[in-house]
């Protein structure tokens, strides 16, 4: 078994707030990792959609460096969105 530390976004059921929680995953049970964009109330971040062998899915804000090297460093971190007003289209 090979465990690595991930930071996942845990939604609170009573509200729409999400918190980051550190979780250990067994790398042998991860089926897929897909880069995604995650919208937070204050920012837009690059994250990952993780699917495990039992069918559960998780949104991760950070993954271990060994996996970042395989996927690519450009898919992790905060997305720089520059805009002057609300009328500018999102790119």
pLDDT tops 90 at residue 26: yes
Q: What is the gyration radius of the CA atoms in the chain, in angstroms?
A: 15
Residue 41 lies in a domain: yes
For residue 66, give both structure tokens: 């060994």
pLDDT band at 21 (very low <50, low <70, confident <90, very high): very high
Residue 69 lies in a domain: yes
**Overall number of domains in the chain:** 1
Residue 65 lies in a domain: yes
pTM of the model: 0.73
Residue 85 lies in a domain: no
Residue 46 lies in a domain: yes
- Domain residues for the domain of 8 are 3-78
Q: How many angstroms separate the CA atoms of 91 and 86, rounded?
A: 13
Residue 23 lies in a domain: yes
Instruction: Give CA separation, 37 vs 24, 40, 76, 90, in Å.
Output: 22, 10, 9, 13
Residue 7 lies in a domain: yes
Report pLDDT digits (tens) over 29-80: 999 999 998 887 777 888 899 999 999 999 998 899 888 888 877 777 777 6
């Amino acid at each position: 078994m090979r465990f690595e530390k991930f930071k996942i976004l845990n939604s609170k059921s009573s509200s729409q707030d999400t918190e980051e929680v550190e979780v250990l995953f067994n790398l042998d049970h991860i089926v897929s990792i897909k880069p995604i964009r995650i919208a937070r109330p204050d920012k837009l971040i690059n994250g990952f959609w993780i699917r495990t062998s039992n069918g559960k899915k998780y949104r991760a804000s950070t993954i271990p460096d060994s996996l970042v090297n395989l996927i690519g460093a450009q898919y992790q971190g905060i997305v720089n969105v520059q805009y002057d007003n609300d009328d500018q289209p999102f790119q």
